[in-house]
Amino acid sequence: MDSALSDPHNGSVEAGGPTNGTTRPPSTPEGIALAYGSLLLMALLPIFFGALRSVRCARGKNASDMPETITSRDAARFPIIASCTLLGLYLFFKIFSQEYINLLLSMYFFVLGILALSHTISPFMNKFFPANFPNRQYQLLFTQGSGENKEEIINYEFDTKDLVCLGLSSIVGVWYLLRKHWIANNLFGLAFSLNGVELLHLNNVSTGCILLGGLFIYDIFWVFGTNVMVTVAKSFEAPIKLVFPQDLLEKGLEADNFAMLGLGDIVIPGIFIALLLRFDISLKKNTHTYFYTSFAAYIFGLGLTIFIMHIFKHAQPALLYLVPACIGFPVLVALAKGEVTEMFSYEESNPKDPAAVTESKEGTEASPSKGLEKKEK
Which of 2, 65, 265, 280 is an active site residue? Answer: 265
162 part of the active site: no
Which of 7, 162, 219, 247 is an active site residue? Answer: 219
280 part of the active site: no
Q: What amino acid is encoded at 9 in this protein?
A: H
Query: Using alpha carbons only, what angle is made at residue 116 by residues 115 and 120, rounded to the nearest 5 degrees?
Result: 115
Q: Annotated catalytic sites, by residue? A: 219, 265
